[in-house]
Amino acid sequence: MQVATLFNLSGRKALVTGASRGIGQAIATALAGAGADVAVTARDAGALDETCRRIVGLGRKIVPLSLDVRDVSACATVVADADESLEGLDILVNNAGYEEIRPSVDVDEALWDRIVSTNLKGAFFCAQAAARQMSSAGKAGAIINLCSLTSYVGVPTAVPYGSSKSGLLGMTKALAAEWASLGIRVNAIAPGYFRTAMTDVFYQDAAWQKAMLAKIPQRRFGAIEDVAGAVVFLASDASSYVTGHCIPVDGGYLASI
């Protein structure tokens, strides 16, 4: 088989949560660039206009949908809507996430629930709904979760976030083992230090930037486009014998500690 064919997503149908900006937008655009039609979600569907414009420019079908992943019933409804609108569902990318930096002694129940419900519970129920759609259609599928460096290392003042992302890594492995018999692969990527709207608070500190760059072997922060190849790989036939794994996209950070 031609190598290019292995990465070709023509005819595939994908759903990407949290795709209005940043990494989610880059992922949706990458999947479309590889040939997939894409449904994208955000809490405010109007915030998806730029993502839609980019995907239309690639000649692919785009379906914008409103979703707050903390709403379990809405997760099932939106996955079903995506499946109907795209006439199938082959790929789910659980990208929607939330982070708020706060000393652990000041974390209250509301913040804990907001972070964990978005990053872990929402990802599970979107995955569950997607697996039901895929298995009922009798088709193979790929689910990709967005883990984090905090899935592996402790970061002060990010305990709820790190707890949710560590849980997401465990969930990835468990679902991969359970759903392999259904033909559904479950993997993850762990982006390193990327400057996005959610992480911008760190990058406003020049001393933090200098200290962090010294820990990254490639001596640069991630560019949004750096996630594209890993996601297309995990969504495509190129990774047909890969399940239950997480690929760090981190410039060598984890390898060096």
Residues near 72 by beta carbon (within 8 Å), at least 6 away in sequence:
121, 125
**Alpha-carbon span 141 to 125, nearest angstrom:** 16
- Sign of the Cα torsion 153, 18, 28, 3 reads positive
**Alpha-carbon span 42 to 216, nearest angstrom:** 31
Residues 177/244, Cβ–Cβ less than 8 Å:
yes
H-only helix segments in the chain? 3-6, 22-33, 49-57, 72-86, 109-116, 122-136, 159-179, 200-203, 206-213, 228-235
Catalytic residues: 161
40 beta partners: 16, 64
- Tell me how many degrees the CA angle 245-250-252 measures, rounded to the nearest 5: 100
